[in-house]
């Protein structure tokens, strides 16, 4: 199975997407967007920024669990990961986004 961006409409009418790796796992979740065009632009931003040096920032969640955010060139957060058990798993998640985002197909379920 190939990687894909899955675009959905939330119950409140906003849009969001998840980036799924080839194995079906969600590796990045977007922020909410007011309109569909904003979400589509967000997907393009993930594709462009995933391979940009310095685009990922590792953070620490509650309980000390690491996670990462992907930022656009203007510093705005485009998406975030789940919380990982350790930093090695978090680094592998970042690498998965780098590998999968540029060629991921778009599946529109909105």
Q: Give the model confidence (pLDDT) of 14-29 as tens digits.
A: 999 999 999 999 999 9
Q: Find out whether 77 and 71 touch, Cβ atoms under 8 Å.
A: yes
Question: How far is 22 from 8, CA to CA, in rounded Å?
Answer: 19
What is the percent of the chain with per-residue pLDDT over 70, rounded to a whole number? 99
Question: How far is 82 from 18, CA to CA, in rounded Å?
Answer: 11
Domain that holds residue 55: 4-108
Q: Tell me the CATH number at 13.
A: 2.30.29.80
**Predicted TM-score of the model (pTM):** 0.93
Domain count, the chain: 1
pLDDT of residue 63: 86
CA atoms 93, 97, 100, 105: torsion sign: positive
Cα atoms in the 13 Å half-sphere on the side-chain side of 43: 22
- Taking 70 as the pLDDT cut, the residues of the chain under it are 1
pLDDT of residue 62: 83
């Amino acid at each position: 199975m190939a990687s894909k961006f899955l675009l959905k409409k939330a119950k409140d009418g906003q849009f969001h997407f998840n980036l799924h790796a080839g194995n079906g796992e969600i590796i990045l979740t977007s922020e909410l967007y007011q309109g569909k065009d904003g979400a589509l632009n967000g997907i393009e931003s993930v594709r462009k920024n995933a391979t940009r040096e310095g685009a990922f920032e590792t953070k620490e969640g509650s309980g000390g669990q690491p996670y990462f955010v992907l930022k656009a060139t203007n510093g705005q957060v485009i998406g975030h990961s789940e919380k990982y058990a350790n930093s090695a798993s978090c680094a592998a998640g970042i690498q998965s986004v780098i590998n999968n985002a540029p060629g991921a197909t778009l599946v529109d379920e909105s």
